[in-house]
Structure formats: C-alpha cells, structure tokens
C-alpha cells in the first residue's frame, strides 16, 4: 500500500520535500485522517448548495411565503433564510478558537458534527414555519463554522510537509463535492417528488456528512502537535509513529519531534503563558505574526469577494437570469456546474497545490475569474436575455463563463486560501489565526449571501452590475497576491517563521534569555534583531 501511494504521489507532487523524505510517511492512515475530518467541510458545501435549489421549489415557495421572484420583499426573505447559516458559522468559528485549545482538535470536530445534525433535523421539521428554519440553520451554522476552523488545523498538524497542501486542500474538495451531490439531489427531487417531500428530503439528507464526521472522528487520533503543546509527549510520539508508520528511532521522526519541541519552547519563552491577552499581544505586536494574521484575513475577504458563494447558493436563480427556462432545467445546469467545480478542484490538488504552488495558482485564478465575470456582466447589460425567446449565441458563451469561472476558482482561490491560513501561523497562534480567518470568511460569506438577491434585483437591469463588481474585485486581488503573498509549498510548519521574518538567530536570542524575562522584553529582541538582520520582508 505504501509503495502504491508513493508511486501515485510521486507522479503528481514535485517539490524537494517529496524527493528527500522517507516514502513510508505517504500512507493510507494520513489520507484517511484527512478525509475523515473533511466531512465537516462537506456539510457546508452540501448545505449552501441545497438551500439555493430548495428556495426555488414550488412547494417551498408556497409553504414559506416566497412570492414574486422579482420583488424586493421576496429577495429579502430568501436572503434571510440563506444567510442565517453564515451568521451561525461566524459565531461558531470564533468559539472554535477557545474550544480547540481546551478540548483538542478531535473532540471539537465531534461536537461540531452533533450541532450540525441538530440543526439539520430542525430545518427538515420546519414544515413551513420560519422560526425552526431560522433556528435550525443557525445551530447548523455553529457546527459548520466550528469545523471550518478545526478541520484545516487538524489536517495540517497531521500531514507530511510535502503533501500538506494537497491534504489541506481536501477541505475545499469536500466542499465542492458536497455541493455537487446537493445540486443533483435538488434536480432529482424536482422531477421525481411532489408536495412537502420535495424540499423535506434534500433538507434532511444534508445531515449525512455530519453523521459520517461524527462516526469517523470517534475512531481517529488527536493531532500530535496539539498533544505536544499540551505536554502529552508520549501520546504525541505514539501518534506520530502510527501516522508516519516509522519506528521511533528513525531520523526523520526524531527530527520532526525535535522541530516541534524547539518551536514550542521558542513560543513559550516568547509569550510566557498562553492566555488570550498574551496571544493577542504576540499576534499584533510582533511584526512577522501581524503580517501573517493580516494576510490570512485579507485572503478570506478576497475569497468571498470573487462572488463564488453567490453563484453556489443562487445558481438556479442566476441561470434563469441568463435565459435558462424551467426549474428542472436550471437545476440540471446547476448540477453540471457542481461537476465542473469538483473536477477542477481535484485537478488543482493533484497537479498544482504542491507542484505549481499556491501563489501562482492564486494569480492565474484571479485573471480567469475576472474575465468571466466581466463578460457575463457586459452581456447582461448590452444584450440581456428576453423571456420566451431562445438563448442567443452570446448568451451560451455567458453560460459557459459560469462554468469556466467555477473552474478557475477551484484552481486557486477556493483551496489555496485554506491551505495558507492553516500553515503560515506559529503553533500556538494557529487556532487563533485560523479562527480569525474563518470568522472573516463567514462574515463576508454572510454579507454576500444576504446582499446578492437584492443586488440581482436592484444593481442595474437584470443585475448586470453584480458581475462587474465581483470582476473588479478579482482584478484587485491579482495585485494583492503579486505584491504580498509568498510561496509556501514544501516548507515545514516549523520553518514558516523564517519565511515571515524570524531567523534561527532571532530564535536563539530569545531561547538564550532567562526564562523569567517578561513578555515585552522578548518581543523587543525579536523586533530589534529582525530589523537589524533585514528579515522582516516576505
């Protein structure tokens, strides 16, 4: 099995770590751990995609009072139903920072699965009542938001450095796979079911990935780096031996354990106790950490301002606006859209994340998405589809641009952002950094999900301005990546400090000081040494 896995990965991953590290570490255990945790991501993709189709089903429209699709009142109600999940995700992401350090990565994922299941049950049982729909989606959002923080942390702390990008990027692959399945479930119920069952079934079946997350994580190990951080070194070594499938005496395993120990010791000397106040001080007063936090937050804002989740959630509505007629036909087009996203995300993880790299992928993705959004916006402005008339050739190009846009997003801005925010922070700041990034993602996801129905109705005829706005953001994102984002492929988690301006000499300066020195004195050493040695540039 190891030889087979190594042969496959050796063909698709090309970096120095892949060539030098022992082949035994690329085994089925690390792949299974990553896939198990990623069912939390599937819950988000499934939910955001299923609700976009459900709100277009006639029984749901009747039971929940969604009237004229072109009225602002209906747009507001649709936006409220959809976006309350993102509000829960925002709260869940912030809470995850405290919970993941207190209870561990594994048990936080188990708890997130339980919350998601409770929320799904309430949504399915709503039967036309808005209160359980709103409450259920908020509770499910708490679970999804929590898992969005813990999932990338858990995977990055278990993954070998050579394939960390591939495994962490599975988060995005599971999102789009869940979305694809949900799209086709919506299409199936639109032609095979009638009455309330038409929307109850897709709302209920979205609990499946949360159930799988709960079961699989019960049998999974805790993160070895979390165990080490909690001073449970024997358990950490045991987990690393099992996940890497190497004997404890192996030089690679000894080096990895030593790197974890050195990094944790450096951070403990730097910040003293790991109180929230000290963590926040270290994040925002140490230049290298502040840089990483700001990059993580801006990356997540940019991810949402591409407009991707607007298309994910409101794809049936957008396809109708581009001239596709009939609920089943628009849902079928949405299903094809889901397939394109899944295939393109798979291609990114296999051939780009750990080979082409994260930075180049973001640059290519920005350009492709901008071109697609500008074409769609100009088409809708200049030659909008006329109801009852066939779609013109320019309209079919616009429809194809939706699919091309999805492919470009999965080539970069989808998976690469989650890879970055989970791998660039220091070990102690990783939960806080990922929590802030994930909360930012959910906040702007909420803003976009809430605003898009109104934008389609109000921002120009047929909402053409919506696409031009998102296209403009994609252009600005290209320049942001060009000037500020470094490449991280093949770099171990413990060596990210050097990439962001903390050299080995600076670490030694802190470690050589008496452990009784206070927090701010150590901060001053890092800042002064970094400025003197010129290590503060990315």
Predicted confidence at residue 5, as pLDDT, reads: 54
Predicted confidence at residue 113, as pLDDT, reads: 94
Predicted confidence at residue 441, as pLDDT, reads: 84
Say if residue 538's pLDDT is above 70: no
Confidence of residue 110 (pLDDT cuts 50, 70, 90): very high
- Per-residue pLDDT tens for 191-214? 888 888 888 898 899 899 999 999
Say if residue 519's pLDDT is above 50: no
Domain segments of the chain as ranges: 1-220, 223-272, 276-520
Say if residue 504's pLDDT is above 60: no
Predicted confidence at residue 18, as pLDDT, reads: 62
Predicted confidence at residue 208, as pLDDT, reads: 93
Query: Mean per-residue pLDDT for 261-270?
Result: 75
Encoding tokens for residue 508?
A: 């030694």
Predicted confidence at residue 142, as pLDDT, reads: 93
Confidence of residue 505 (pLDDT cuts 50, 70, 90): low
Q: Which of 315, 312, 298, 293 is nearest to 362 (CA)?
A: 298
- Per-residue pLDDT tens for 339-392? 887 887 777 776 665 667 778 888 988 999 999 889 888 888 887 777 666 777
Tell me if the domain spanning 1-220 has CATH number 3.40.50.1390.
no
- Per-residue pLDDT tens for 447-489? 887 777 778 777 777 677 888 899 999 999 999 999 888 887 7
Please indicate whether the domains covering 1-220 and 276-520 agree at the CATH topology level.
yes
- Per-residue pLDDT tens for 386-438? 766 677 788 778 888 888 888 888 888 877 887 888 788 877 787 788 888 88
Per the CB < 8 A criterion, the answer to whether 136 and 115 are in contact is no
Contacts 24+ apart (CB under 8 A), 122-131: 123/203, 124/200, 124/203, 124/204, 126/203, 127/63, 127/196, 127/200, 128/63, 128/64, 128/196, 130/64, 130/81
Per the CB < 8 A criterion, the answer to whether 143 and 90 are in contact is no
Q: Which of 56-65, 449-458, 466-475, 506-515 has the weakest average pLDDT?
A: 506-515
Most confident region among 109-123, 219-233, 504-518 by mean pLDDT: 109-123
Rounded to 10 degrees, the C-alpha dihedral 184/127/133/115 comes to -80
Burial class of residue 192, CB neighbours in 10 A (0-12, 13-18, 19+): exposed
Confidence of residue 111 (pLDDT cuts 50, 70, 90): very high
- Residue of 401 and 517 predicted with greater confidence: 401
- Per-residue pLDDT tens for 222-260? 988 889 888 888 898 898 888 888 888 888 888 888 888
List all residues 6 or more positions away from 258 whose beta carbon is below 8 Å from its beta carbon.
none
List all residues 6 or more positions away from 507 whose beta carbon is below 8 Å from its beta carbon.
262, 266, 497
- DSSP-assigned letters across all residues of 329-383: HHHHHHHHHHHHHHHHHHHHHHHTTTTT-HHHHHHHHHHHHHHHHHHHHHHHHHS
pTM higher than 0.75: no
| Residue where the block lists tokens 């496959």 | 8
The CATH code that applies to domain 276-520 is 1.20.1250.20
Predicted confidence at residue 524, as pLDDT, reads: 47
Q: What is the mean pLDDT of the chain?
A: 78
List all residues 6 or more positions away from 511 whose beta carbon is below 8 Å from its beta carbon.
265, 266, 269
């Amino acid at each position: 099995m190891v030889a087979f896995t190594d042969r496959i990965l050796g063909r698709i991953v090309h970096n120095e770590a892949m060539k030098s590290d022992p082949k035994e570490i690329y085994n089925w255990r690390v792949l299974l751990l990553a896939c198990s945790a990623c069912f939390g991501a599937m819950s988000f993709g499934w939910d955001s995609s299923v609700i976009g189709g459900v709100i277009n089903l006639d029984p749901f429209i009747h039971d929940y009072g969604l009237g004229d699709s072109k009225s602002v009142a209906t747009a507001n109600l649709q936006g409220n139903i959809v976006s309350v999940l993102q509000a829960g995700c925002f709260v869940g992401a912030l809470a995850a920072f405290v919970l993941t350090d207190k209870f561990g990565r594994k048990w936080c994922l188990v708890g997130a699965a339980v919350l998601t299941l409770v929320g799904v049950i309430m949504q399915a049982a709503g039967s036309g009542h808005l209160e359980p729909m709103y409450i259920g989606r908020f509770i499910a959002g708490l679970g999804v938001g929590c898992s969005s923080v813990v999932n990338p942390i858990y995977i990055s702390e278990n993954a070998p450095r050579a394939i960390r990008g591939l495994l962490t990027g599975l988060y995005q692959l599971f999102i789009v796979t869940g979305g694809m399945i949900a799209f086709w479930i919506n299409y199936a119920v639109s032609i095979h079911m009638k009455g309330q069952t038409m929307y109850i079934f897709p709302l209920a079946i979205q609990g499946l990935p949360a159930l799988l997350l709960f079961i699989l994580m019960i049998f999974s190990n805790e993160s070895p780096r979390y165990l080490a951080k909690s001073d449970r070194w024997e358990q950490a070594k045991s987990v690393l031996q099992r996940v890497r499938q190497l004997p404890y005496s192996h030089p690679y395993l000894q080096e990895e354990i030593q790197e974890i120990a050195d990094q944790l010791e450096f951070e403990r000397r730097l910040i003293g106790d790991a109180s929230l106040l000290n963590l926040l001080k270290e994040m925002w007063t140490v230049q290298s950490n502040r840089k990483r936090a700001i990059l993580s937050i801006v990356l997540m804002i940019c991810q949402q301002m591409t407009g991707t989740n607007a298309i994910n959630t409101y794809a049936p509505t957008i396809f109708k606006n581009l001239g596709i007629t009939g609920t089943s036909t628009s849902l079928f087009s949405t299903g094809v859209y889901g397939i394109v996203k899944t295939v393109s995300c798979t291609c990114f993880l296999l051939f780009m994340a750990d080979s082409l790299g994260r930075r180049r992928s973001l640059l290519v993705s920005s350009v492709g998405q901008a071109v697609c959004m500008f074409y769609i916006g100009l088409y809708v402005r200049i030659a909008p589809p006329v109801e009852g008339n066939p779609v013109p050739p320019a309209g079919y190009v616009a429809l194809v641009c939706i699919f091309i846009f999805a492919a470009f997003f999965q080539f970069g801005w989808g998976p690469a952002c989650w890879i970055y925010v989970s791998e660039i922070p220091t070990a102690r700041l990783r939960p806080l950094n990922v929590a802030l990034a994930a909360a930012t993602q959910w906040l702007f996801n909420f803003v976009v999900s809430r605003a898009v129905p109104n934008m389609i109705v109000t921002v120009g005829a047929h909402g053409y301005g919506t696409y031009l706005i998102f296209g403009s953001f994609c252009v600005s994102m290209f320049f942001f990546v060009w000037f500020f984002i470094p490449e991280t492929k093949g770099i171990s988690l413990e060596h990210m400090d050097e990439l962001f301006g903390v050299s080995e000499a600076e670490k030694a300066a802190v470690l050589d000081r008496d452990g009784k020195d206070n927090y701010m004195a150590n901060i001053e050493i890092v800042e002064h040494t970094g400025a003197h040695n010129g290590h503060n540039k990315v």
